[in-house]
Amino acid sequence: MHRRHFLAALAAPAFAPAAFAQAAPTINAGRLRSHLEALSVFGRPAGGAFADGVSRVAYSDSDIAGRAYVMQLMRDAGLTPRIDPAGNIFARRPGTDNSLPPVLFGSHTDSVPNGGNFDGDLGTLAAIEVIQALNEARLTTRRPLEIVVWQNEEGFAFNNGVCGSRIVAGHLDAGELDLVWNGLKKSDALRKIGGDPDRIADARRAPGSFACYLELHIEQGGTLEKSGTPIGVVEGIVGIDRFDVEIRGFANHAGTTPMPDRRDALVAASHLTVAVDDTIRAEPGRQVGTVGQLNVSPNVPNIVPGSVKMVIELRDLSAPKIARLGAKIQARAREIAAQTRTEIDVRLAAHHPPALATPAVQQSIETVCTKLALKTQRLPSGAGHDAQMMSLLGPMGMIFVPSVAGISHSPKELTKWEDCATGATVLLHTVLAHA
Ligand code: HGY
Ligand code: MN
Ligand code: MN
């Protein structure tokens, strides 16, 4: 969009900010790109390049380094970042009336192993860019603004995601801080990133403690690219149920154990994996089911597998549908256990309820886009987000930008630089619309 058209659009009353600005606030696309490229260094494979993606798993040294980098950017933007007891990073920009609840916006910087450079990073760095743009326009909003970097959104660590936002929303599971993953206790993991598990209750936020929560995020699917739409307005975020499955058979000699005598845990796991796929595909709808993680023991070619640990994950916009499909799969697990003479334990490890975006916030995003002559499309999010936790506390909206070829959770994850800047511009003006 030409700058003159953009400024003309901004001149319209809907964009008259609370306090007079020297010039209309503008996203610096080059600065946003350089910050995304710089953040991608933390967790990059040794000897790799930007295109090789990132492994910046929560609580790792690269996660901590990435968080430190982002906190420095916040200071460079005149903010004073603080880490709450849950390990989330917050930074507040005063408004003209600081008695009002802030507009809260941000995302996460932790990644999946072998992930991409945009998932979470774009929403986090765009939030800082919004602050910079307001500073440069010398614009003070009526409401205070608060930006946030949520910790462990991905949930690869401890097999339960949206961790920091879930604690803020009051959904820390009983005993969760005592869990151990890779030899690390969760309470120590929080301390490692600057949290304080002894004061975890202080991390909770009350309903209404923010005016609305906004998150810019890559779509992680192919809908926007296919329709040639630059901005997605999220309708709702899927619910996720994740099950830890343990299958116990009997390890024995692969050569001397006759087939009828076997209790093969991997054969049982294979039947269960196919049962998940069959159950999910058996009815119409957009539900998905995945077995993305499976560990065989002892995992030796000439030993009949004695045990398998695997994770089943179900997602849909309907919580009752997820529950129903989960029950079906657990019934199939019982049948497979009997059939293979193994024991199969299925334990619910994570339950994230689906969340609908707030119509008024969706509308505000669309109004901004109309002013900016940007086409929009409403769509569901097949990915989980911290926004679904924030929807438990107040109005929520998400802004999506296209993912090239719909790829995400992969080094091939890519969003065009101009789409990153467009998304940040829409975030900027949606924040203003609420502030
Ligand atoms: O898994 C998800 O949906 C998100 O990317 N954490
Ligand atoms: Mn994400
Ligand atoms: Mn992700």
Mean pLDDT of 386-412: 98
Residue 207, pLDDT score:
97
pLDDT tens by residue, 38-56: 999 999 999 999 999 999 9
Report which bound ligand comes closest to the CA of 155: 1
pLDDT at 22 over 80: no
pLDDT at 413 over 80: yes
Percentage of the chain with pLDDT > 70? 95
pLDDT tens by residue, 89-104: 999 999 999 999 999 9
The residue whose CA has the least distance to atom 3 of ligand 1 is 383
pLDDT at 9 over 50: no
Average model confidence (pLDDT) across the chain: 95
Distance (Å, whole) CA 338 – CA 152: 38
pLDDT at 389 over 50: yes
pLDDT at 7 over 90: no
Q: Does the Cβ of 161 fall within 6 Å of ligand 1?
A: yes
Residue 217 CA, ligand 2 centroid: distance in Å: 7
pLDDT at 150 over 90: yes
Mean pLDDT of 163-185: 97
Q: Which atom of ligand 1 is nearest to the CA of 120?
A: 5
Mutation to probe ligand 1, out of 215, 218, 220 (largest number of atoms < 8 A from CB): 220
Strand intervals (E) in 38-183? 82-83, 89-93, 103-108, 145-150, 180-181
Mean pLDDT of 345-353: 95
Residue 308 gets which letter from DSSP? Answer: E
Residue 154 CA, ligand 2 centroid: distance in Å: 7
User: Confidence band (pLDDT; 50, 70, 90) for 360?
Assistant: very high
Distance (Å, whole) CA 110 – CA 121: 8
Q: Does the Cβ of 306 fall within 6 Å of ligand 1?
A: no
What count of other Cβ atoms lies within 10 Å of the Cβ of residue 310?
23
All structural domains of the chain:
3-237+354-434 (3.40.630.10), 240-352 (3.30.70.360)
Contact (Cβ atoms closer than 8 angstroms) between residue 415 and residue 225: no
Q: Which atom of ligand 1 is nearest to the CA of 119?
A: 5
Look at residues 404, 400, 392 and name the one whose alpha carbon lies nearest to residue 426: 400
Q: Which atom of ligand 1 is nearest to the CA of 382?
A: 3
Contact (Cβ atoms closer than 8 angstroms) between residue 123 and residue 101: no
Q: Which residues hold their Cβ within 5 A of ligand 3, which is an ion? A: 119
User: Confidence band (pLDDT; 50, 70, 90) for 176?
Assistant: very high
Q: Does the Cβ of 382 fall within 6 Å of ligand 1?
A: no
pLDDT at 8 over 60: no
More confident site: 1 or 268:
268
Q: Does the Cβ of 384 fall within 6 Å of ligand 1?
A: yes
Mean pLDDT of 246-270: 98
Question: Element (H or E) spanning 323, and its range?
Answer: helix 319-340
β-pairing, 252-253 vs 376-381, is: unpaired
Q: Which atom of ligand 1 is nearest to the CA of 238?
A: 3
pLDDT at 1 over 90: no
Residue 162 CA, ligand 3 centroid: distance in Å: 10
Q: Which atom of ligand 1 is nearest to the CA of 383?
A: 3
pLDDT tens by residue, 299-344: 999 999 999 999 999 999 999 999 999 999 999 999 999 999 999 9
pLDDT at 17 over 70: no
Contact (Cβ atoms closer than 8 angstroms) between residue 245 and residue 272: yes
CA dist list (Å): 56 to 53, 60, 87, 124, 341: 10, 7, 16, 15, 40
Residue 45 gets which letter from DSSP? Answer: P
Distance (Å, whole) CA 108 – CA 125: 9
Contact (Cβ atoms closer than 8 angstroms) between residue 153 and residue 161: yes
Q: Does the Cβ of 238 fall within 6 Å of ligand 1?
A: no
Mean pLDDT of 167-191: 97
Q: Which atom of ligand 1 is nearest to the CA of 384?
A: 3
Residue 433 CA, ligand 1 centroid: distance in Å: 28
